[in-house]
Structure formats: C-alpha cells, structure tokens
Structure 1
Amino acid sequence: MEKKTALITGAYGGLGQCFAEIHAKAGGDLILVGRDPKKLVAQAEKFTEKYKITAHTIAVDLAEKEAAWSIYDTCEANGWTVDYLINNAGFGGQGEFIARTMEQDMAMIAVNIETPTRLAKLFLPDFVKRGSGKVLNVSSTAAAMPGPLQAVYYATKAYLTSWSEALWREVKDTGVTVTCLMPGAMQTGFAQAGGLSDTKLFANAVSPLEVAQAGYDAMLQGELEVIAGLNALQKPFMNLSPMIPKKLLLDNVYKLQERGSADN
C-alpha cells in the first residue's frame, strides 16, 4: 500500500499519541501538530527512530483564529501532502457556565469547533479534487446529550458529530470519507486538565489506545461513526439515555460530573 501521511492535531496528548503510534507503526508518515515545539520535536524523533518514517512538526496554538491557515500554509510551502486529517485536539472544563471565564469557553469553542472546521475547509477541497483522503473527527459520547457542569464542552461535541455526519454524506462517492469517533471517558490528561479527575464520570476511565485503534480502523474503512471505550457505567447509560425523561437525564449527568462524586 502506498505510504500515507497523517496530520494529527493534539499529537502529543493521550489519544493523539496513540493515533501517531498506530499510524507510524503501520509505516505511515506524520505531521504532528500541537502547542509545545519541544514536545513535538521529541515525539517526532521518537517515531522517526523507532519506525523509520518521516515525521514533521507544526507548533501552533489551535485557539488562535489563524491556526488552521498556519497549518495549511506550512504544508503547502513544504510540499507535504496530507492523506489523513485527524482532528483530535480538544479540551473540556468542569464548572457552572456562569462561573467559568469568557476566555476559557471561547478558547474551547475555538479549539473544539472553529479550528477543525477551518482545517476541513482548507484540506477537504484538495482531497475531493484528487479523489482521495480521509478525515477523522474526534467527538465524544457527550454529543448525545446536554452536559450540565460541562455545558459548552458537550455542545461543541454535538456540533462536531452533526457536522461530521453531514460531511460524510456530502463527500459520498468522491473517494473521500469523513468519520466521527465518539469515545467515552479515557485515561488521558483530559480529566486532569478539565478538573474532572475526582468525578464519577472518570472513575473507571479506559485506556485511550483501544479507542484510538477503533477510530483509526473506522477511518480506514470510511465508516460514518464509531462509539468506543465505554466503561461499565457508560454502556447502559448511553443505551438508556434516549428513553430517560430529559430533566431526570440532566440531573444524572450533573451528578456524574460533580467534583468529589467519584467517592460517592
């Protein structure tokens, strides 16, 4: 199979690191995107040495409005052809909407919604023009319901899922596919960064590697979406949530995300 290049945002985080490992192990080249240049270079050197592939890096703050243009222009200027666009970067944050700062939630919207949308606006036309390419958007099972105490985060993932599914249909029969990955709670830096480590939601978080593998395989197969990594609590909750009265559902989600709830 012809060697493919995957561009991965949030590349050195838990799930991003797994995507990079899986793709490099398969012999694919990498374009690693993140905010910390030192971490990116260390990651690139590791994969270059371990798997004898080519790994490029792009250091950029994905909350900045020009981030997507910077990534696309860097690829164009260097002649790097992107075969797989993996929009992995994203973050959440626990707290009442009125207690969180404007900057926190606007940055979340920028990283979780705006930059993936801009990247697809830039790369997707190239994919369609040449008749090949794959997009993997990392959403969340949070997309399936509102999320009190993470109101904006859940809403960003609802957008990402709806948008991804619509794009899948729009590019159907072009040779290009768009896949949406919806993970459950994972053992990554997400919970700690978002103040969710001591919540019941993350009490039994799963390894990100199995989630990344499920998402990567689904992307290769051009599947519409894949739900992966649900823990023992989340599986029945996800299955039953459409039948639970909305107010009761909101109460349950709130309790799962209260700080200290892991001990209850």
Structure 2
Amino acid sequence: MQPLRIALGLLALVTVFFLVVPAQTTLFSGRRDAGEPTAAVERADATAGSEPAAVPLAVPVAAPAVRAIDATPIDTSGLTRLPAVTSGAATPPRPEMPEASAADEVPAAVQAPPPASEPEVASAAAAPDGPSYRLFPRPIAVDARTLKTGDLTLLVEDVEPVASDARCTDGTQAWPCATRARTALRGWIRGRSLMCAVSPDQRDAREIIAPCLLGEADVGDWVIRNGWAFAAPGSRYEAAEREAREARRGIWAYGLADDETAARSGG
C-alpha cells in the first residue's frame, strides 16, 4: 500500500505542475501554440487583411459650352437713317385765332359786374327789424285773447275778448259769455305749444302782443271764426267775425244781456 500511495502522490504533483505553472514555452505548449493560433490572432489578421469600403466619388458636371461672339460688324449700308425730331414736331398744330377787332370788343357797361361782397338774402335774413319766431310751451287761456305761459303773458294780436261781466242769454237763462269762451279755447289748445312772431321791441318784454299759430292754425282766426271773441276794427279777422255771426256760432248763438259795445272788453 505504501508504494501505491507514493505513486499516486507523484502523479498528483505532476498534474498540479502542468495546471498551475504559468504558460511558458515548453515542449508541449510550443507545439500547441505553433500549430493552433489563438482566436484573437485570427481576428487581428482578418481585420488587417480586409480592404476598406469603397467611397463613391462625385462625378463632375460638364459646364455648358459658351457660344463665341462674332466680332464681325453688321452691314448697315442698306438701312435708312430717319431725320432727327426737332422741338415741337410731335405737337399738333394749333388753329390760328383771328385777332379781335374793335367792333368785337365788349363794352365795359355790358360786362358782368363783380360779385357782391355780401349776399342780399343773408343781409335781409340778418335784418334786426324782423320778427323772431318763438315757441311758448303749454299756454293756459285766461280769456279768449290772453294766455299765460310760465311768467310770460301772451295777447293774441287783433283779437278783442268778451268782457268778463258780459252775460249770454237763452230765454230766461243767462251765463257769463267770457267763461264759456275761455273754456272753448282751453279745450282746443289742450296743453299744446304755440309759435308766435315776436317783434324786436318785445324780445325782453314780459307781456307780448303777437300773432300765434297752433300747428298750422291761426289762433286769432280760430277763436273769432268760432264766435268766441270780437275782431279788432280794421283787422284781417273782420271777415271771420261776419261768418261767425251769420252761422250763429259761439256767443252769436245766444243773445247778449247788454248791448254789443258793453260786451266788448275794450281790449
């Protein structure tokens, strides 16, 4: 048994020697290295031996051919030279105007006068003596001629109201004529505004005597034509009063307790 153990120990030592000793050129390793190159050497040889990839080169484009210019002068012997244009040659001729004779001259008296410095219409409109039209809002009738609007008093021109104490009669009945006339005028105006033509000397007055319009109706004509007032002597309303008397309108539909002169207020 002892010799066997020694033999196994030697065998183990030899095996360890070959496994542990670093790779050096030995008899066995030299043969193996010489006969079988490593994979790394093969890869290096393969890389060194391979050719680089071909890179495509740009093909030069041929430039267009340049046409040669013929320097031979052009023959101008057959051309006709036009005459040079002088100043005014392109302007059409002007017709000759006959000279004015002494008989054709317009006399100074016939010539148009110079324009006026100020239009006559404007000066007439700006005349200070003309009436000014003023609007009086919501007047209240005091009688058939007198109206109050604010702190102003309007007296309708050419109208004479019935006296405040005059009485109208119908048989045995009697009543104040002025009250009936005032009621009729108030009912016709009904809070509407009047347009009156105020003369220049009354522009600052508190009591104004003027003709007035309600819309397009003449206030004086309406109150007299309907028989609620007298027309002033010589006024434009005398024909309207005659019409009211004949038609028996207003106070003319009844009798007067007093004579007509007393029935007038003298306005």
**Shorter-normalised TM-score: what interval?**
under 0.3
Bigger share in helix: 1
What's the TM-score once normalised by structure 2's chain length?
0.19
Bigger Rg, which one = 2
Superposition TM-score, scaled by structure 1 size: 0.20
